[in-house]
């Protein structure tokens, strides 16, 4: 299953991942570690992809039980960074 940072999915677990992809770390009260780190904004896409993959693995295991991250693709668009995650649902 694929989740894009630009399209809201219908499946509840995938929707949780969509929210995680669009949350900046430090902006959620009582969960300051939830979200992606914005300090990597000026780094090359290849570096960002590896960093996001590692971060998402940690965050999914902590906040979204039942999802397994398989792959992450990053693409720079005129609207910013587009993140595509390939995941599997583990019930």
Cβ count near 85 (within 10 Å): 24
* Predicted local confidence at residue 39, as pLDDT: 85
Q: Which residue has the higher pLDDT, 42 or 77?
A: 77
Block residue for tokens 């914005």: 38
pLDDT in tens, 19-67: 999 999 999 999 999 999 888 777 888 888 899 999 999 999 999 999 9
* Predicted local confidence at residue 3, as pLDDT: 93
CATH number at residue 39: 3.10.450
pTM: 0.87
Identify the domain containing residue 8 by its residue range.
Answer: 2-89
Per DSSP, the three-state class of 24 is: strand
What is the number of structural domains in the chain?
A: 1
Could you tell me where the beta strands, DSSP code E, fall in the chain?
2-4, 67-77, 80-89
Average pLDDT for residues 63-76, to the nearest whole number? 93
* Predicted local confidence at residue 86, as pLDDT: 96
| Structure-block tokens of residue 31 | 């969960």
């Amino acid at each position: 299953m694929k989740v894009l940072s630009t399209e809201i999915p219908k499946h509840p677990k995938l929707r949780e991942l969509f929210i995680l992809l669009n949350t900046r770390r430090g902006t959620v009260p009582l969960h300051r570690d939830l979200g992606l780190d914005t300090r990597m904004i000026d780094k090359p896409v290849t570096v960002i992809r590896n960093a996001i993959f590692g971060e998402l693995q940690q965050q999914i295991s902590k906040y979204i039980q039942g999802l397994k991250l398989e792959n992450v693709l990053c693409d720079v668009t005129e609207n910013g960074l587009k993140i595509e995650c390939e995941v599997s649902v583990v019930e």
